[in-house]
Amino acid sequence: MKPAPFDYLRPQTRDEALTLKVEHGDDAMFLAGGQSLVPAMNFRMAQPTVLIDIGALDDQATITIDPASGALHLGSRVRHRQLEFDPQIAATAPLLAEAAPFVAHAQIRNRGTLCGNLAHADPASEFPAVMLALDATFWVASTAGKRELAAKDFFLGIYTTALEETEMLVEVVLPASPPRSGYAFVEMARRPGDYAQMGVAVCMALHETGTIESARIVLCSAGDTPMNAHNAASALIGEVPDQPVFEAAAALVDQDIAPLGSVHASAEFQRHLAQVLTRRALSIAGARATGERRQAA
């Protein structure tokens, strides 16, 4: 199929892009990598009358680390491929680097952008779950200024976010990891590049005594948004990171998810996968947090 007719605009600055969005309102959409939007337009699932291409905004393609806080700042044009291979990402947000190869295929990762992916808000996508696991902060901008949103407040439903009509997601900020941290992203799909039947992102940090001080477990393809498994994560706090603890926590994941089922997996099978993959991810993250080099079976 072919998209409905539209006008194409290519602003040279962010201010110009935001002004165009105010001018055209809900009839306009921002185009970044286009790897989600263009297929949706071809199937007439999205029919903007104006496309505002931000591809010329080179100042939005930056990856920087705050020297004071160690926080990682990612601009709106940072591509998936950069997340996969940039050494700054590997050093400061290894969970993000670990999840990136699971996103579609290499050709799509070459063009797709992190902020475009997040604004699309597909609950089967890996990056929204990773953002919640990393406690990310999003900066959105309009001609009226900028405002800050926690990742947990950004995703409202399937393809629905807290972005207002004239706003653009312009930056993602990831805080520095605490000492003695471990992480893991695991996913099951029918074939490489397919939508995830289930995916799990885990972050944990240990107290100096060796017990688990903080933990986040977030799943994709487990509901109409990335699903934060609060009950399972809470069960880990104060415990020693070992296999029986991880198995007990994984058994609680079912309380916090609401898989919808799809052509890729039934809801019942997704619930089974959620427990299996959570147990596996916790084992990997625990080994990394304790400095062990073993991998989960």
Q: What is the DSSP string of 28-88?
A: EEEESS-TTHHHHHHTTS---SEEEE-TT-GGGS-EEE-TTT--EEEETT-BHHHHHH-HH
User: Helices 243-250 & 267-289, crossing angle to 10 degrees?
Assistant: 150
pLDDT of residue 297: 36
- pLDDT given at position 1: 72
CA dist 256 and 49 (Å) reads 39
Q: Which residues pair with 53 in a beta bridge?
A: 31
- Residue 124 and residue 250: Cα distance in Å, rounded? 20
Residue 292, pLDDT score: 61
At 266, the amino acid letter reads: S
Q: Is 72 exposed, middle or buried (0-12, 13-18, 19+ CB in 10 A)?
A: buried
Whole-angstrom Cα distance, residue 86 to residue 80? 10
pLDDT of residue 296: 40
Looking at residue 113, the DSSP 8-state letter turns out to be: B
pLDDT in tens, 194-239: 999 999 999 999 999 999 999 999 999 999 999 999 999 999 999 9
- pLDDT score for 71: 97
Which letter, b or e, does each residue of 151-164 get, where b requires 16 or more Cβ atoms within 10 Å of its Cβ? beebbeeebebbbe
What is the spatial distance between Cα 148 and Cα 54, in angstroms, rounded to a whole number? 21
Q: How many residues does the chain have?
A: 297
Token output for 45: 């699932």
Q: Which residues of the chain have pLDDT under 50?
A: 293-297
Please provide the DSSP assignment of 234-253 as one string.
HTTTTS--SHHHHHHHHTTG
